[in-house]
Chains A and B, each alone.
Chain A
């Protein structure tokens, strides 16, 4: 559905994207994650034909974006930078896009209502708040009722209420079977919405995995305390787990607490404490995207 194949983009001496490859499967929502300046926007713009690759290629629906006929009916996009003329009303902005994209004009009022901008549609865009501008951008992306959505930092500028609205909105879009690539620099922001994540850093792919796998990375370790710690340690190690004694009858086990508890129970080992030490998704994200020096907190 969306293919990025060995994409490299240089801006002068700056290497923005470095030999990046990934694909977004049809009907899935993929979070495209990385710190600011990681190359997310450049990659998305390359997918949309706005940035010309130095090497490599990008395709949407099996073709380069610029080869798509009536592209607004196939692919909707929200860009990080605002792209409406400030002197035009939101409604007229969408009317222009509808005419250019071969989209029925009746869709203009439909999408304005969808993003809750119906009342503000006739106001000039320069009077819109940041949140309203984001909603207008989403309306523009949805105008052609496209099967593919490329959304660059859609939560930027939204207040907590707006972010919640966006999350619900994306969920509803996903339930309609659309393919969505959504970028963010905050993993937690998209974790509840996405199926997969593509994490990049300094233009390079760090990880492409199901969100469940990333979640598993966050599972972290388990601390267990038992009057029979030595025996429990033997049981855990013989079960293939990474476990070690930390003194005073305590063990630290690199496994989910459920698994540790089950092993102890099946051997009749008494436990005085069983607690999970869970990393946040952001900690996992920082771990994945951090430099060695940053990881150590140096």
Chain B
């Protein structure tokens, strides 16, 4: 397991697209942090929620990127035909799916570390210039939540990739779900007067982890729901991957 996991990490490190994702995460984290600080009134910067929210705002793009990169690290195998060689090295397909999920987690962790470094650096410098006192406790709690959310997004992405296999299908499907289908579900459930049910949908569950201010599920509930959706996707990934002929 260890060597196959190490191979997965090496696969990621030896592709330019991975570093492209890291660069985009870095830029988005910087922009999100700068936008949040710059767009907040001076008196609001002293609010305890302010520094908490800086980290969570930066975590949102990292979570989306983590989800997408998680999908790519599985669907790339099918897109470029490398799955055959991967399965020759790791013929137990259930084991390969498990390792891909771990690689998804590692991808999320990596992206979140980049995000946190950029966010913390930008915030420390900028808030220092503005003479706003830093509240380490708020930042640490937010960072922990964000870390959990982004890592789970990576795992969920890998599981979805394992279930769908088609790169275009997985990426387009995920983006359409996040930005079109799930908002429509929110609206529909609201019209049916069961708006609370929308909090249990996949993107809302992940969003609930990194944003507790929306009045949705509590942190633990969001984590539980995100894990449940990941479990569903994992079962589908195991089923699909174990039955597929690699031709």
Q: Please list 11 pairs of residues, one from A and one from B, whose beta carbons are closer than 8 Å in the complex, sorted by A's number.
A: A50-B87, A51-B245, A71-B91, A84-B82, A85-B80, A92-B14, A97-B89, A99-B10, A100-B4, A101-B3, A102-B3
Closest to A48 in B: B88
Known: A95-B10, A100-B3. A83 touches B81 (CB 8 A): yes
Residues in A94-126 with C-beta less than 8 Å from chain B = 95-97, 99-102
| Across-interface contacts of A88 in B (CB, < 8 A) | 11, 14-15
Supplied contacts A51-B245, A101-B89, 12 more A-B pairs, CB within 8 Å? A45-B247, A65-B91, A66-B91, A83-B81, A83-B83, A87-B15, A88-B11, A99-B7, A100-B3, A100-B86, A100-B89, A101-B3
Q: Does A86 contact B (CB under 8 A)?
A: yes
Known: A72-B89, A96-B11. A42 touches B247 (CB 8 A): yes
**B15 and A85: CB pair below 8 A?**
yes
Q: How many residues of chain A are within 8 Å of chain B by beta carbon?
A: 36
Residues of B within 8 A of A (CB): 3-4, 6-7, 10-11, 14-17, 76, 80-93, 243, 245-247
Q: Does A79 contact B (CB under 8 A)?
A: yes
Residues 49-78 of chain A, each 1 if its beta carbon lies under 8 Å from chain B, else 0: 111100000000000011110011001010
Whole-angstrom distance between the Cβ of B77 and the nearest chain A Cβ: 9
Whole-angstrom distance between the Cβ of B93 and the nearest chain A Cβ: 8
Main DSSP-derived SS at the B contact region: helix
Whole-angstrom distance between the Cβ of B19 and the nearest chain A Cβ: 11
Known: A45-B247, A102-B3. A85 touches B82 (CB 8 A): yes
**B87 and A49: CB pair below 8 A?**
yes
**A100 and B247: CB pair below 8 A?**
no
| Across-interface contacts of B80 in A (CB, < 8 A) | 83-86
Q: Does A161 contact B (CB under 8 A)?
A: no
Known: A51-B247, A52-B243, A96-B10. A81 touches B84 (CB 8 A): yes
Q: Which of B7, B82, B92, B245 contacts A83 (CB 8 A)?
A: B82
Residues of A within 8 A of B (CB): 11, 41-42, 45, 48-52, 65-68, 71-72, 75, 77, 79, 81-89, 92, 95-97, 99-102, 140
**B4 and A95: CB pair below 8 A?**
no
Cα(A201)–Cα(B154), bound, Å: 47
**A71 and B85: CB pair below 8 A?**
no
Task: Give the top 3 A-B pairs by smallest Cβ distance, nearest first.
Answer: A100-B7, A66-B91, A100-B89
| Across-interface contacts of B93 in A (CB, < 8 A) | 66
Cα(A99)–Cα(B245), bound, Å: 25
| Across-interface contacts of B17 in A (CB, < 8 A) | 87
Q: Name the residue in A41, A75, A95, A100 with the highest tally of chain B Cβ atoms < 10 Å from its Cβ.
A: A100
| Across-interface contacts of A67 in B (CB, < 8 A) | 91
Q: Which of B83, B90, B243, B245 contacts A100 (CB 8 A)?
A: B90
| Across-interface contacts of A75 in B (CB, < 8 A) | 88
Known: A72-B89, A84-B82. A96 touches B7 (CB 8 A): yes
**B89 and A50: CB pair below 8 A?**
no
Whole-angstrom distance between the Cβ of B151 and the nearest chain A Cβ: 23
Known: A87-B17, A96-B14. A68 touches B89 (CB 8 A): no
Closest to B89 in A: A100
Closest to A50 in B: B246
Whole-angstrom distance between the Cβ of B96 and the nearest chain A Cβ: 10
Whole-angstrom distance between the Cβ of A264 and the nearest chain B Cβ: 57
**B81 and A87: CB pair below 8 A?**
no
| Across-interface contacts of B91 in A (CB, < 8 A) | 49, 65-68, 71
| Across-interface contacts of B247 in A (CB, < 8 A) | 11, 41-42, 45, 50-51
Known: A87-B16, A88-B15, A102-B3. A11 touches B85 (CB 8 A): no
Whole-angstrom distance between the Cβ of A202 and the nearest chain B Cβ: 18
| Across-interface contacts of B81 in A (CB, < 8 A) | 81-83
| Across-interface contacts of A96 in B (CB, < 8 A) | 7, 10-11, 14
Whole-angstrom distance between the Cβ of B5 and the nearest chain A Cβ: 9
**A71 and B14: CB pair below 8 A?**
no
Closest to A16 in B: B247
| Across-interface contacts of A85 in B (CB, < 8 A) | 11, 15, 76, 80, 82
Closest to B87 in A: A50
